[in-house]
Amino acid sequence: SSLTLAVLSSKVTGIGMDDLNSGVDFASASGLEKAEAAELQRMLAVEQQKAQFQAQETKVHNFTDVCWDKCVDRPGSKLDSRTETCLVNCVERFIDTTLAITSRFSQ
């Protein structure tokens, strides 16, 4: 997706891929109009949101794997009460830990 964004940026701005890789400031590039710069910023924001979503998705998969391995002895058609309680507690601990870490880093 970063490569796609770079290619789109290159097409929108007329800046080559070598320029993109060298950290050119898009806003000061010659011939770049305000509308093009705004669209580029919007595209960059969308790509950043996608990256954040993918990071969150990875976290969910990781804690799902951890909680599954910890709580599910043998898969069946239904969860017994012990397994269900274990899964709920595991997920709640994950959420609490994530919130505590996030809170700590925001201070």
CA-based Rg of the chain, rounded to a whole angstrom?
22
Amino acid present at 32: L
49-56 contacts, C-beta under 8 A, 24 or more apart: 50/1, 51/1
Cβ(67)–Cβ(90) under 8 Å? yes
Full set of structural domains in the chain with CATH: 35-106 (1.10.287.810)
- The number of beta carbons lying within 10 Å of the beta carbon of residue 13 is 21
Sheet strands (E) in the chain: none
Q: What is the pLDDT along the chain (107 residues), one digit of tens a residue?
A: 444 444 444 444 444 444 444 444 555 555 567 778 888 889 998 998 888 888 878 877 787 888 999 999 888 889 899 999 999 999 899 888 888 888 887 77
